[in-house]
A and B are shown apart, each in its own frame.
Chain A
Amino acid sequence: MNAATEQSFLDEIVAASGLAPLLAPFTVTRLLIKAGVTPATVDADGLRRALPELEHGLAVYLSPEQLEEALARLRDLAAR
């Protein structure tokens, strides 16, 4: 994957997170790092590993319904 594609995948994760644009970049980046995944080079495998951390962190900002929808989108991305 080239750098542009990798950045694009991070953007897709940010968009899939369900978080408001104000909160999404900081929050997703933080959660990926917490999961031991480097945001700049995250790929589908890294996203899969980060899913538990993302679920835990997104629950802080999202309602249970919003969280389920976000997790479904993130799992789809991770399955690529």
Chain B
Amino acid sequence: MSTATDIIDLLDDDPSLLTDAARRTLTITNRGDAYTEEELDQLVHAFGGALRERLAGTGTEVLDFMLQTAIPAIVARGERVSELARSSAVFGVLLSVAITERLEPDARGAAVTELASFFGEWERDIVEAAQGAA
């Protein structure tokens, strides 16, 4: 099985990996009230779709849709681009650790590379989208 498939299976088996990382992100960044539970659930659901499509190599449709809808909405509510970038970086580290520590040791290196590549591009894309919407 490939590393990407391993990660997708993990996310399918335990969707709380994403939600927990998102909640911990808000705690670490002292922004516990930045999003309602409903907002967080829907944003996490969409993010999971974007990550899965990237890992599966099926395109960027979900990611592009998030960049066109969620990011402008968040910016319109007053979120600063720098805060968005900060939260995204924290979330990326937390989720990557949560995922890799659940993988077999010999799969972790490839998973870190895969996730680092994804989060680097994610960070770039949301910052560009937020700057465009600001």
Residues of B within 8 A of A61 (CB): 42-43, 45-46, 70
Q: Are B38 and A30 in contact, with the CB atoms below 8 A?
A: no
* Chain A neighbourhood of B35, CB < 8 A: 22
Task: Determine if A51 is an interface residue (Cβ-Cβ < 8 Å).
Answer: no
- With the chains together, A16 CA to B75 CA distance in Å? 23
In the bound complex, what is the Cα–Cα distance between A22 and B40 (angstroms)? Answer: 10
Residues B42 and A62 in contact, CB atoms below 8 Å apart: yes
How distant is the Cα of A65 from the Cα of B39 in the complex, in angstroms?
16
- Per-position 1/0 for A5-31, Cβ under 8 A of B: 000000000000001101101110010
Q: Judging by beta carbons under 8 Å apart, are B65 and A22 in contact?
A: no
Check B42 against A26 for contact (C-beta < 8 Å): no
Q: Tally inter-chain residue pairs, CB-CB below 8 A.
A: 45
Contact yes or no, A20 B76, CB < 8 A: no
Task: Give the residues from 58 to 72 in chain B that come closer than 8 angstroms, CB to CB, to chain A.
Answer: 62, 65-66, 68-70, 72
**B 74-100 binary contact with A (CB < 8 Å = 1; else 0):** 101100000000000000000000000
Instruction: Categorize the interface residue count of chain A.
Output: 10 to 19
- Which of chain A's residues has its CB closest to B70's CB? A23
- In the assembled complex, which residues on chain B have CB atoms less than 8 Å from the CB atom of A60? 45-46, 49, 62, 65-66
Counting CB contacts under 8 A, is A46 at the interface?
no
CB distance from B41 to the nearest CB of A (A): 8
B38, B39, B65: the one contacting A57 at CB < 8 Å is: B65
| Known contacts A23-B42, A62-B42, A62-B45: A30-B69 contact under CB 8 Å | yes
Residue A2 lies at the interface, judged by CB distance under 8 Å to chain B: no
> Which A positions have Cβ atoms within 8 angstroms of B?
19-20, 22-23, 25-27, 30, 57, 60-63
Query: What are 18 A-B contacts with C-beta separation under 8 Å?
Result: A20-B36, A20-B38, A20-B42, A22-B39, A22-B73, A22-B77, A23-B42, A23-B43, A23-B73, A26-B72, A26-B76, A27-B73, A30-B68, A30-B69, A60-B45, A60-B49, A60-B66, A61-B42
